[in-house]
Amino acid sequence: MTFTLKQLAATSGGELIGDPSLQITGAASLAEATPGEISFFGNRKYIGQLRKTRASAVFVPPDFAESIATAQIRVANPIKVFEQIVLKFAPKPITFVPGVHASAVVDPSVDLGERVSIQPYAVIEAGARIGDDTIIGAGSYIGHETVIGSACLIYPRVTIRERSRIGSRVIIHSGVVIGADGFGFEMVDGRHEKIPQLGIVQIDDDVEIGANTTVDRARFGRTWIQQGVKIDNLVQIAHNVVIGKNSVIAAQTGISGSTRVGERVMMGGQVGIVGHIEIGDNTAIGAQSGISKNISGGTWWASPAVPLAEAKRQIAWIHRLGKLFARVKEIEKKLGLHVL
């Protein structure tokens, strides 16, 4: 598909500086773009890439003042506009025909909504309910009495165990396991004895869960992922954890049992959180931080985590230790003391 710069400027509502008849055949990042493609610039740290880009045109902010030969379309939000333009060049999305594939195993008691698509070798156990327009990918397993809402996309090889509750417009990527037993044992007569895990997992509307993430069922009650939460790949969420609305969790994070995470919390990659604590609303946790106590609001980093400003001071102190040690040795020499 090809567009002229005039067409792209009109579509984006931007101000064009350059040849309106210039043909654009694709979109790419500043570093990867080639002639005939359009890119975007919205962050000053990429000014070097902008000056070197081979793109034929670039979306830039309204106050852009850099002198470049590349054609420009000035828009209020270059990143967002670029995302919309990329969709115009993208291939058509994959679609799935409604119906149950002949190789799928669906118990006769399952309640299927309108236009549901069950892909090859999926298994749906007795008493499950699947909402309208939902897609169950190839090889996925839906356990007994599980409820899945409308317009969900369950990718291939997802496991959703018995009695789980999934809302509408939920996206679950391949390899995810929902409702595995929580990690619960107690010592009896010198050996570990399993504690029955009798609760469920509840996932509310508009949640997305990345590949190979695990969400354990509750010991009793529910493990609860609330509306709008976005979870990356390879995240572990233990039994009875609650994740508040619109929180974001990056890859390789682990959240121990019965922890409550507030709304709009952001966690970087490889964060580790002990059990039975609370993370307050609007808290940001930096990558590889360890959280060992209740925290609330602001940005936290390090292990054990402290407020970001304090973490930066501690790092600065550590970096100065070498110079401090050298100064102490020099003073000891002058005083005739034993030198380490």
Confidence of residue 265 (pLDDT cuts 50, 70, 90): very high
- Do 148 and 196 belong together in one domain? yes
Mean pLDDT of 108-133: 98
Please, which residues have CB within 8 angstroms of residue 323's CB and are 6 or more apart in sequence? none
pLDDT at 340: 53
- Do 277 and 296 belong together in one domain? yes
- Do 53 and 190 belong together in one domain? no
- Do 56 and 79 belong together in one domain? yes
Tell me whether residue 339 is in a domain.
Answer: no
CATH at residue 260: 2.160.10.10
Q: Is the pLDDT of residue 152 over 80?
A: yes
pLDDT at 66: 87
pLDDT at 334: 86
- Do 81 and 143 belong together in one domain? no
Q: Which of 173, 239, 319, 338 is flagged as catalytic? A: 239
Establish whether the linkage from the previous residue to 91 is cis, with ω within 30° of 0.
no
- Do 38 and 107 belong together in one domain? no
Higher local confidence (pLDDT), 55 or 315: 55
Mean pLDDT of 285-307: 95
159-213 pLDDT, tens digit per residue, is 999 999 999 999 999 999 999 999 999 999 999 999 999 999 999 999 999 999 9
Structure tokens at 78: 């270059």
Q: What is the mean pLDDT of the chain?
A: 95
Rounded-to-integer distance, Cα 132 and Cα 276, Å: 37
Rounded-to-integer distance, Cα 204 and Cα 246, Å: 11
Confidence of residue 312 (pLDDT cuts 50, 70, 90): confident
Please, which residues have CB within 8 angstroms of residue 13's CB and are 6 or more apart in sequence? 75
Domain boundary among 51, 69, 89: 89
Mean pLDDT of 122-134: 98
Domain count, the chain: 2
What are the CB-based long-range contacts (under 8 Å, 24+) for 175-178?
Answer: 175/211, 175/212, 175/213, 176/209, 176/210, 176/211, 176/212, 176/213, 176/214, 176/215, 177/213, 177/214, 177/215, 178/203, 178/209, 178/214, 178/215
Q: Indicate the pTM of the whole model.
A: 0.87
Domain boundary among 56, 89, 122: 89
One-letter amino acid for residue 271 of the chain:
V
Domain boundary among 25, 56, 89: 89
Domain holding 271, by residue range, is 100-307
pLDDT at 49: 95
Per DSSP bridges, beta strands 71-74 and 15-17 are antiparallel
- Do 192 and 144 belong together in one domain? yes
- Do 169 and 235 belong together in one domain? yes
* Residue carrying structure tokens 């990042």: 29
Tell me whether residue 326 is in a domain.
Answer: no
**Helix (H), strand (E) at residue 99:** strand 99-100
- Do 25 and 111 belong together in one domain? no
* Helical pair 5-12 and 78-89, crossing angle rounded to 10 deg: 120
pLDDT at 317: 87
276 is catalytic: no
Mean pLDDT of 312-336: 87
Tell me whether residue 115 is in a domain.
Answer: yes
Tell me whether residue 196 is in a domain.
Answer: yes
pLDDT at 338: 67
61-105 pLDDT, tens digit per residue, is 999 988 899 999 999 999 999 999 999 998 888 999 999 999 999
- Do 61 and 128 belong together in one domain? no
Confidence of residue 278 (pLDDT cuts 50, 70, 90): very high
Tell me whether residue 264 is in a domain.
Answer: yes
**Helix (H), strand (E) at residue 316:** helix 308-335
Tell me whether residue 186 is in a domain.
Answer: yes
What are the CB-based long-range contacts (under 8 Å, 24+) for 103-110?
Answer: 104/136
CATH at residue 29: 3.40.1390.10
What one-character DSSP code corresponds to residue 186?
E
Q: How many residues does the chain have?
A: 340
- Do 105 and 72 belong together in one domain? no
84-93, 112-121, 221-230, 237-246, range with the lowest pLDDT: 84-93
Tell me whether residue 313 is in a domain.
Answer: no
Tell me whether residue 266 is in a domain.
Answer: yes
- Do 163 and 221 belong together in one domain? yes
